[in-house]
Structure 1
Amino acid sequence: MDQPPTPKRLDSFSERTCWVCFATEEDEPGSDWTCPCMCRGATKWVHQVCLQQWIDEKQKGSSSIDVSCPQCQYPYQILYPSASPFLVCYEYLNRAITFSAPMILAGLTASSIYWVSFTYGIAVATVSLGRERSIAFFGNPESSILALTLPLLPWAVLSVKLVRLEVQALKFWYRFISPALYSLAKRIPILKSMATGHNPQKKFMAAPVAVLPFLSRCLLGTFSLPLIASTIGYALSYILKSQSSLRRTLLGGSIYLLLSYIAKISIEHHRGRLVGASPPTMATDYNFP
């Protein structure tokens, strides 16, 4: 009587499983397998194609990068075909360009920013001093040190705009000025009834702004400030009868900044909100300006 066939026991450590794609011999029977490291068991096997793709991803186009097994850390022995001198020179040139490209780009960017800033400073000096006085200023050797600070002008103006002085002014008002007026009003009989419902612990919270439009507006305002100041100063010169270009520009810029920040404070106060630590004692909450 024939005995039934004994079922074959599968040894999981003898099965070939690719540690890259996790496919077995049954999944891809016609694939080429290799074991390029010191691993043992099922993890030593890998598809030749999968290993080549994995090494290409690790090297990122540079054949000089050494690649090791992620399990046993055995360095792979990669043999490349012999290349012509032209290809070898091209490989070294490509590596040099890849290494130096970020530094070259950073240098070009810094140079462009410097010359744009320097041009802005020259434009400010020309608008403020006038053509003849600006030529005399830059031609004077004693002014050379001062001329080196011209690239700092746009960054100084831009820094002031990025700080958002209107928000800082409102925060200062509600933190220091408003409580001081509240304390003063409580001591004056006429204003005591008005200060009863006021919450002196209120804090101003600015409305959120979109970063990209805000930065674009700050840059536009920085570059247009000399032209606006010169235009306003030139218009006021007919009233003030002033012949000095510097005085006209400073006066026009001061008036423009004063009016613009008054408008910004009003708009920011309308957009923002007040946050109080405790509710007011009355239904109506009197706010000092």
Structure 2
Amino acid sequence: MDEPEEPRQTEPQNEIPANSSRNLASGQPPLNLQEDNLPPRLVTSSTTSTLQCWICYATQEDDPRLSWIKPCKCRGGTKWVHQTCLQSWIDQKLREDRKKSVACPQCKTEYLIHLPAMGILVQLIDAVDNLFDHFSSLIVDCCVLASLYWSALTYGAMTVVYVGGHRSTDVVQSIHPTVVLMGLPLIPLATILVGSIEWEIHLGRILAAVLRPIPFVRRVVRNASDDSAVALVNRRISDRMSSTRKCITSLFLPAIAKLCGDLFYSSTSSVLRRFLAGGVTFIGVKTTITYYHKRQIRKKLTDLKVLDYTDQNRERFAANNQI
């Protein structure tokens, strides 16, 4: 019997690029994919796969002319990357600060970035440019602070003249200029501080402390404080008034206090007492109205409930919306 022949071992053949036929037809030598700027292909046991850039997702077959690098400790699919793609990605990271280090987002290895050395003239220009950058930000901050200071100073001077009249100018002139320049800007800060205080909360606490000994009121206060929805309701009510609105309202507080003082306390001879009495009256009335309004809104939001989707509830909902 004849013995079976052993399988022949065929030598692996190198793949010929798709554009080799065009190069041979035109008389040009085929592209060499094993140059220094191109890494070898990744070969597996079953299939042959090419390199793929983890930035642009292009493979080695898409553009063989691009150079590949392995700049970090990654392995597998994220090991190789285009030189141009990585440079563009690094430029985006260094757009704000050219001096910070850039690392691989996968293995956190810091990239070794080589920059060519510049001449002394270029280094001097860069140093002057960086110095101007720091001074520019400092100058802008100083201008903003100076604008705020002069605005506060002007507001304080106008408030003093409006409340005290022309006689207040003589009083201001008799004070030391340093005290005037430091005291007048504090007037808008004081008005904003007074206007930003939620006086209705303190009024509610005072009323609860005073009326708590009454049995019926004690039960109502205890039930209201134990309700888990009260905190959420209070936060929803407080969010309705923005900080900008509070600031603008506070800046009008001296004018309103002067108007209320002249209207309700015209018999008072002292301008300062009339102004303070008008301000206290306005804050008291405003606090009472705000407390009552928030109380009603809190009651409304606390009783909120979702109805079943029935015809009867739909008719009730439509009727309430028409009203």
Asked if these proteins are the same fold (TM beyond 0.5), I'd say yes
CA distance in structure 2 between the partners assigned to 1:61 and 1:265 by the alignment: 50
CA distance in structure 1 between the partners assigned to 2:75 and 2:150 by the alignment: 64
Q: Which residue of 1 aligns with 2:291?
A: 265
Listed as ranges, the matches of 1:47-86 within 5 Å are 47-60=82-95, 63-67=98-102, 71=107, 72-79=109-116
Listed as ranges, the matches of 1:5-16 within 5 Å are 10-11=43-44, 15-16=50-51
| Residue 234 of structure 2 is aligned to residue 201 of structure 1 | no
Query: Taking structure 2 as the reference length, what is the TM-score of the superposition?
Result: 0.62
134, 153, 156: which is aligned to 1:118?
153
| Residue 261 of structure 2 is aligned to residue 228 of structure 1 | no
CA distance in structure 2 between the partners assigned to 1:231 and 1:221 by the alignment: 15
| Residue 248 of structure 2 is aligned to residue 248 of structure 1 | no
CA distance in structure 2 between the partners assigned to 1:6 and 1:178 by the alignment: 101
Change (3 A) 1:211 1:102: farther
CA distance in structure 2 between the partners assigned to 1:246 and 1:234 by the alignment: 11
**Residue type of the alignment partner of 1:114:** Y
Runs of at least 5 residues in structure 1 that lack an aligned partner in the other structure: 183-194, 277-289
Runs of at least 5 residues in structure 2 that lack an aligned partner in the other structure: 14-41, 303-323
Moved more, 13-22 or 163-172: 13-22
Q: Which residue of 2 aligns with 1:159?
A: 193
| Superposition deviation, residue 75 in structure 1 | 1.7
Q: Which residue of 2 aligns with 1:140?
A: 174
CA distance in structure 1 between the partners assigned to 2:217 and 2:258 by the alignment: 49
Q: Which residue of 2 aligns with 1:46?
A: 81
- Native 8 Å contact 1:202 1:274 kept in 2: no
- Native 8 Å contact 1:234 1:248 kept in 2: yes
CA distance in structure 1 between the partners assigned to 2:176 and 2:96 by the alignment: 55
Change (3 A) 1:57 1:83: farther
| Superposition deviation, residue 230 in structure 1 | 1.9
Moved more, 39-48 or 108-117: 39-48
CA distance in structure 1 between the partners assigned to 2:260 and 2:217 by the alignment: 45
**Residue type of the alignment partner of 2:214:** L
- Native 8 Å contact 2:211 2:217 kept in 1: no
| Residue 125 of structure 2 is aligned to residue 106 of structure 1 | no
Provide the identity percentage.
Answer: 21
User: 1:94-134 CA distances to partner (integer Å, 9 max, x unpaired)?
Assistant: 433444444444333333222222222222222232222x2
Change (3 A) 1:156 1:104: same
Larger Rg: 2
**Residue type of the alignment partner of 1:75:** L
SS at match of 1:272: helix
- Native 8 Å contact 1:202 1:275 kept in 2: no
| Superposition deviation, residue 274 in structure 1 | 10
**Residue type of the alignment partner of 1:24:** T
CA root-mean-square deviation? 4.1
CA distance in structure 1 between the partners assigned to 2:127 and 2:254 by the alignment: 50
Aligned residues: 257
